[in-house]
Structure 1
Amino acid sequence: MSAQDFSTSVAYFSMEFGIDQALKTYSGGLGYLAGSHMRSANALNQNLIGVGILWKYGYYDQTRKADNSHEVMFREHMYSFLEDTTVRFQIEIDKKQVWVAVYLLPSQVFNTAPIYFLTTDTDGNDAWARSISYHLYDKEATIKVAQCMLLGIGGAKFLEINNKEPEVYHFNEAHAVSAAFYLYKKNKNLEELRKKIVFTTHTPEEAGNEKHELNFLLNLGFFGELTLPEVISVGLVEGNVFNHSLAALHVAKKANAVSKLHGEVSRKMWSKYSKICQITHITNAQNKAYWVDHALEAARLNKDSVTINSRKKALKTILFKEVADQVGKLFDPEVLTIVWARRFAGYKRPDLITRDIERFNRILNNSKYPLQIIWAGKPYPFDQGAIDTFNALHNLSYLHPNMAILTGYELALSKKLKDGADIWLNNPVVTREASGTSGMTAAMNGALNLSTFDGWICEFANESNSFISPITKSQNDLARDQADMKNILDKLEFEILPMYYEQKEKWNKKVLQSMNDIVPFFDSNRMAEEYYQKMYN
């Protein structure tokens, strides 16, 4: 595309941005995706800026208690590389005037589009108002909605008063939908409003979309100065329930899901609503320039499997130093290494392959085909079920010197894990993973995907580049999980391990095929271009 194709001005609103290890403004996949989008927007010289929130304590720092169980630590973060714009203005939240300060991440710092970060942790605010921008996804409902208002209303007002109003407002998830009500009050013309807004949905289940009682939001000032009939009409409100995603689908000119399968699921999920916008799909991608190991990439271009193998062993050695430092275990770079690393959530089933514990133990103790396995990821800090799963895996790892559970899954550790993995394990419940992206960057770095057939994998995987678990038809959750577990362990025990140790040429061919197939479609430059083609222009 020519530079002219990127001339439409866009403001990209996101609750999180995964830009650099030094900037704690993300929790997981949504942030990683936004970070890649910002890098590609900069590389392509697109007329796009980011709008986010400067989280004082980030998501949280993941550490360990004295007994090595999961520990949540909230630590204040300060950033000398952000520029104070000196812009200060007020928005009304819960009948209080709340001051907002704005900081800029300039493009040259991390090679991204410019990103403006809003914070209420500034002079003039009381303790409650300051706390709005303390914790990403705060557990307290009023604060969490206030955060959405800060992003949406605060972001829109900032752009307005600083003469930065874009032609397109892009809501990455529905967190910023309050901006639509702020914008609507100007001329109260819904059709004109729709010309300005696009919406990306990442949630593949209707029940997973955030909802609140209408009166609760009205009392907080979520809809600004609009009357109740206007709120109901613009927000497509049903009864006393405001559905954030449904409202976003109503005020946007177009929406997109984040994979082909997710597009099909989303259109079916929202099909009963006749007044919503068209839902297309733009498959997620990650920024290759940021994530790829350049020695591996050079070897890929030269079709040099010998160098790929030697470089992978060197990268595994780097990862295994992290393993040794964290858990006191010495892993061997010659041994097949599996990694499961992403946000700990129930539908992602982090412990799935351990549920047949006898078989799991047998595979890990097989001296003919040695195996090492690493888990990493952050549970939501107040999701006790996910924390219990993390701790149970750690407790199990005491029995196996070749099993490790790592903490601190952020950008830096994620890079080490993608570099060092031979197999990237991904086993969500099918149709529950809108896209997923971690396996993309793993594949860029010579790891093979072992996955259920969900999300982006459906557009990538085949027998020549991945190991795919057959789709389970059972509607019973327990039977489904057992079938998926058995299929994955069968793949591991009877196909992957023998191939790695006894059919090296076949293994090398599969790795090279995977590395070739992942580019260029799953590089975020394609994704950023597609947003202009399908959504902005």
Structure 2
Amino acid sequence: MWTIRTFSVAPLIPNRLKRLQELAYNLWWAWNTDAIELFRRLDSELWDRTGHNPVALLGEVDQEKLKQASEDEGFLAHLDRVISDFDVYMNEPRWYQKHGGVEGSAGNPETQIAYFSAEFGLTECLPVYSGGLGILAGDHLKSASDLGLPLMGVGILYSQGYFRQYLNPDGWQQEAYPNYDYANSPAAIYNNPDGTPFTIELEFPDRKVTVQVWQVNVGRVRLYLMDTNLAANPPADREITSRLYGGDLEMRVRQEVLLGIGGVQVLDKLGLKPSVYHMNEGHSAFLALERINQLMEHRGLSFDEAREATMPGNVFTTHTPVPAGNDMFPAALMDKYFVHYYPRLGLSRKQFLSLGRQHPKDDNEPFSMTVLALRLAAHRNGVSRLHGEVSRQMWQRVWPEVPVNEVPVKHVTNGVHTASWTSKDMVELLDRYLGPKWRDHTDDVSIWERINRIPDSELWRTHERRRERLVGFARRQLRQQLLKRGATKLEIQQSEEVMDPEALTIGFARRFATYKRGTLLMRDLDRLARLLTNPERPVQIIFAGKAHPRDTEGKELIRQIIHLARHEEFRRKIVFLEDYDMNVARYMVQGVDVWLNTPRRPMEASGTSGMKVPCNGGINMSVLDGWWVEGYRIDNGWAVGYGEVYEDWEYQDRVESQSVYDALEKEVVPLFYDRGPDGLPRKWIERMKNSMMSVCPAFTTHRMVREYAEKFYLNAGRSVSAMTENDYAKAIGLSKWKQELYKSWPQIRIESVEQSELDSLTVGGDLEVRASVRLGSLRPEDVEVQLYTGQLDGQRQLVHAQAVPMRCEHSNTQTHLYAGTIPCRRSGMHGFGVRILPKHPDLVHPYDPGLILWA
């Protein structure tokens, strides 16, 4: 075998254009339409052929074109304008520097946030994402940059990314895994000061794996992506960073060890010391263990002390509303990869595995990454209000004695990075009527209220242009798909006739999982045909989306759509666009009139694709699930059903498909084609404006990231600072207090509960309650005695209950007398209970010790 010696060739950029390279390596360009147009001006055909990759563009563009650009006054003026905007953006104080989440107070300069995610969707030329989770992570980084947060991202550079989708002649999904050339991408290898690549050695069973790091600049934020595809590693270890969500369970463990443990080690070796670690889903939960391990090793703390020191700085976001969506590993697999890790943490095998089990004593329960994250993070959240409720129900067994509504999982509803998803045409229109500040203040309701200043005719024409471009894109894509499938000449010619640029266009694009019900509209084909083929009021549907490679049922749904689209009556009306990615998504959300979403409630944690539609003038029509529960208003879109949850899924599909048909036939289509003398659908445009004004400011990642900062990051940073000062004195003290608490808790008793006369209670009165409590060796200041009270439902269960603190009125060496008052403000049946919780000034949450005693 002969040796290949490598070398790199850099593009020759004229001096006047040198800063184009700097711009190409900062993804700020990806959400700035003026910067995108600057690169496109160099060679529009090459820009499209490189997948909108400015680094590859500069490497491949003809030298003569670069020379011409360097002498073109118009191009140079454009370049100077873009560079000026970029410099201002990179250097001016942003929201965090001005306020940091506290009005009138700048953010703590010592607080740094590390955001870990298995995928990041930033731009189509950096394909390290599969879908919504990654797109959200990418938008999170962009808004963190816009807001000036001191945040860094940590992920994996997958050499083959997620699969590329194509369909065989029967419409069955096939998967291709090309190897990507990241040397010609906006990612750059991170080098040591001497110019050699920066690496770490990550310990695996019986070997060490060399990990290289790439850096991606996302505005003011740095993203570090780990890579094991190196000659120094054997083939099996090079495969660790080959495919996103590829391989078997063992490969998933390897990837998550790399992400969580390797990611923390990378930051440590880089000299970066974040105080807050945000786990975007459970894939990175091993980071919490590695943080503990490093404190034990470097500071000599015990496991419990290191856990108290790190837990306040851990934030965990769960995205999955069903248990099957969470990574779980058998104990034998955990043994294989962590048997060397148990003694490092000072834990027995049973103690270690219990960290990932809802029932710590159940030796047959697999190890759950979500449970591990829930146990080791002080701040936990779902991604919509409904998903927060679902998560509290789903994970109550981690806190078995805690009422569902008090399970310590909050919610921060997802959003989208508006500037990344708004079309150039619409950006220019919004600049003209809202003013340029809307880009940096996408969560400002008062700015979006200026939408009413836009003349109906201008908004409509702008949206129509985007629909026309979507139709043109769909035709080009369909032609390419048919050519690859070996279609007949007639089929290829007919592809140029599909879609009508003036017809009502519905978009449906998402992962093809059965619960998302991509074929719900196909339950009544006669009714669908009447809806789509009305010559006076035509309707058309564009589908896109991938099924997981092992999801046969999801692939069958795609196949059904392809076969339906071949029927003569549907041939011009239904199109499926292959290989759904950020580019396809952008065309769709910018061009559709209606975005259709039909998940089976409550299985959609949030969903974000529909949030990208209103800023482009589109309107949502969705089941009341995920974010749409919060976003829907009667005048800004359409709801499918009324938020019901069915046990019979077949019946649910039948009912909700009828609801979709009814809404389209009776409301959507008539409203769209209700035209005035000037040809404008005035009532439709009114709904477009209502959608923009209500959805855009509420469902933006600017609002979302600010909410994370104000709810979690800033508080976490302060807590970590307090825990680490004076050589971790508070962490050590809290650990000792908990040890005493666990020893003494079995001694406590609620010996008696008495209440005032019940028969004479009326609205406006008070119920007085007294409880006699025995605390053993604990002090009254170690606990909080509470009344837990609320109304009773039909099953005599408390609803809308709340805790009312009781006060200690008398103490002796044996018992303590507590008293409390329940205000009676509503008539009806009520109930209460008495409980005791741990109390300590340094506890982030009273439920974290896992102790609660009810009378």
TM-score normalized by structure 1?
A: 0.95
1:239 is aligned to: 363
RMSD: 1.8
2:148–2:220 CA contact under 8 A, matched in 1: no
Please give the alpha-carbon distance, in whole angstroms, between the structure 2 residues aligned to 1:255 and 1:223. 29
Aligned to 1:344, the other structure's residue is in SS state coil
Quote the residue 2:601 is aligned against: 430
> What SS does structure 1 have at the residue aligned with 2:241?
coil
User: The residue matched to 2:212 in structure 1 has which SS?
Assistant: strand
Could you tell me which residue of structure 1 aligns to residue 700 of structure 2?
Answer: 523
Alignment counterpart, residue 430 of structure 2, candidates 273, 294, 297: 297
Identity across matched positions, percent: 33
Which residue in the other structure is 2:414 paired with?
Answer: 284
Does structure 1 residue 489 correspond to structure 2 residue 640? no
Alignment pair present for 1:200 and 2:317: yes
Indicate whether 1:175 and 2:283 are aligned: yes
The answer for the alignment partner of 2:460 in structure 1 is 309
1:386 is displaced (CA, Å) by 1.1
Pairwise CA distance, 1:301:
6.1
Residue 296 and residue 497 in structure 1: after superposition, are their counterparts in 2 closer, same or farther (change >3 A)? farther
Displacement of 1:135 in angstroms is 0.6
- Please give the alpha-carbon distance, in whole angstroms, between the structure 2 residues aligned to 1:320 and 1:355: 26
Distance in 1 between residues matched to 2:232 and 2:462, nearest whole Å: 54
- For 2:172 and 2:646, the matched residues in 1 are separated by 35
- Seen in structure 2, the aligned counterparts of structure 1 residues 303 and 387 have a Cα distance that, compared at 3 Å, is same
1:334 is aligned to 502
Q: Tell me the secondary structure at the aligned position of residue 166 of structure 2.
A: strand
SS at match of 1:454: coil
Corresponding residue for residue 766 of structure 2: none
Q: Note closer, same or farther for the CA distance 1:222–1:193 as it changes in structure 2 (3 Å cut).
A: farther
Query: Structure 1 residue 315: deviation in Å?
Result: 0.8
Residue 74, structure 1, aligned to residue 177, structure 2: yes
From 619, 624, 629, the counterpart of 1:458: 629
- Match in the other structure for 2:268: 160
The offset of 1:95, in angstroms, is: 3.1
Q: Which residue of 1 aligns with 2:56?
A: none
Conserved in 1, the CA contact under 8 Å of 2:128 and 2:161? yes
Q: 1:117 aligns to what?
A: 225
Which residue of structure 1 lines up, in the alignment, with residue 116 of structure 2?
A: 13
| SS of match in other structure, 1:366 | coil
What is the match of residue 418 of structure 1? Answer: 589
- Give the structure 2 partner of residue 105 of structure 1: 216
Whether contact under 8 Å (2:256, 2:286) holds in the other structure is: yes
Does residue 198 of structure 2 align to residue 87 of structure 1? Answer: yes
Change in 2 beyond 3 A, CA 1:235/1:460: same
Three-state SS of the structure 1 residue aligned to 2:409 is strand
Q: Is the 1:181–1:223 Cα contact (8 Å) retained in structure 2?
A: no
Q: How does 1:183-198 map to 2 (within 5 A)?
A: 183-185=291-293, 186=296, 187=301, 188=303, 189=305, 190-198=307-315
Query: Residue 247 of structure 1: CA displacement?
Result: 1.1
- Distance in 2, matches of 1:245 and 1:135, equals 22
What residue ranges of structure 2 are gaps of 5+ in the alignment? 1-94, 101-106, 191-196, 434-450, 479-494, 676-680, 715-855
Displacement of 1:296 in angstroms is 4.8
Letter in 2 for 1:380: H
1:114 deviates by: 0.8
Question: What SS class does the counterpart of residue 114 from structure 1 fall into?
Answer: strand
| Structure 2 counterpart of 1:498, from 656, 663, 670 | 670
Task: State how far apart, in whole Å, the 2-side matches of 1:82 and 1:150 are.
Answer: 19
Contact kept in structure 2, 1:422 and 1:448, CA below 8 Å: yes
Higher relative contact order (CA 8 A, sep 6+): 1
Alignment partners' CA distance in 2, 1:345 and 1:505: 37
Q: 1:149 aligns with which of 251, 257, 270?
A: 257
Contact 2:614 2:696 in 1 (8 A): no
Cα distance in 1 for residues equivalent to 2:355 and 2:502: 60
Deviation at 1:66, TM superposition (A): 4.9
Distance in 2 (alpha carbons) for counterparts of 1:114 and 1:194:
24
Structure 2 residue aligned with 1:368 = 536
Partner deviation per Cα, 1:22-51 (whole Å, 9 max, x = no partner): 000100000110111110111111100000
Matched, 1:62 2:165: yes
Instruction: Kindly provide the amino acid, as one letter, of the partner of residue 321 in structure 1.
Output: G
- Quick check: 1:344 aligned with 2:465? no
Provide the rounded CA distance (Å) in 1 between the counterparts of 2:314 and 2:499: 50
Match of 1:319 in 2: 470
Provide the residue aligned with 2:47 in structure 1. none
What secondary structure, in the 3-state scheme, does the structure 2 residue paired with 1:380 have? coil
Name the SS for the 1:502 alignment partner.
coil
Cα offset, 1:131, TM superposition? 0.4
For residue 257 of structure 2, what is the amino acid of its counterpart? M
Instruction: Give the Cα separation in 2 of the matches to 1:406 and 1:219.
Output: 43
Structure 1 letter corresponding to 2:538: P
* Preserved contact between residue 392 and residue 409 of structure 2 (Cα < 8 Å): yes
SS state at 1:467 partner: strand
- TM-superposed deviation, 1:158: 0.7
**Which 10-residue stretch deviates more, 111-120 or 526-535?**
111-120
Computing the radius of gyration from Cα coordinates, the structure with the larger value is 2
Deviations 1:112-156 (A, max 9, x none): 621000011013111110001001001311111111111001101
Structure 2 counterpart of 1:278, one-letter code: P
Partner letter of residue 545 of structure 2? G
The letter of the residue matching 2:501 is P
Q: 2:149 aligns with which of 46, 50, 63?
A: 46
Offset from partner CA, 1:438-487 (integer Å, 9 cap, x none): 00101111111010001111111111001101233431010011111111
- For 1:330 and 1:296, the matched residues in 2 are separated by 29
Give the conservation status (yes or no) of the 8 Å contact 1:296–1:446. Answer: no
Measured after TM superposition, the shift of residue 331 of structure 1 is 1.8
For 1:118 and 1:426, locate their aligned partners in 2 and report how far apart those are by CA, in whole Å. Answer: 35
Please tell me the residue identity of whatever aligns with 1:239. D
SS of structure 2 residue aligned to 1:278: coil
**Cα offset for 1:357?**
2.1
Cα contact 2:415–2:699 (8 A) shared by 1: yes
Q: Which shifted more, 396-405 or 359-368?
A: 359-368
Shift of 1:69: 4.1
TM-superposed CA distance for 1:303, in Å, is 2.6
Q: Distance in 2 between matches of 1:147 and 1:536?
A: 26
1:387 matches 2:555:
yes
Classify the secondary structure of the residue corresponding to 2:673: helix
Offset of 1:248 from its aligned partner? 0.5
Bigger mean CA offset, 12-21 vs 202-211: 202-211
Does 1:220 pair with 2:391?
no
- Residues 121 and 137, structure 2, Cα contact 8 Å, conserved in 1: yes
How far is 1:344 from its partner? 1.2
Q: Is 2:711 aligned against 1:534?
A: yes
Deviation at 1:316, TM superposition (A): 1.2
1:512 to 675, 689, 698: 689
Task: Provide closer, same or farther for how the CA distance between residues 14 and 69 of structure 1 changes in structure 2, counting only shifts above 3 A.
Answer: same
Aligned residue for 2:181, secondary structure, equals coil
Deviation of 1:68 after TM superposition, in Å, equals 5.4
Paired residues of 2:96 and 2:147 also in contact (CA < 8 A): no
Separation (CA, whole Å) in 2 of partners of 1:461 and 1:65: 39
Provide the rounded CA distance (Å) in 2 between the counterparts of 1:364 and 1:97.
60
Partner of 1:476: 648
1:309 maps to a residue whose letter is W
AA at the equivalent of 1:283: T
SS in 1 for 2:144: helix
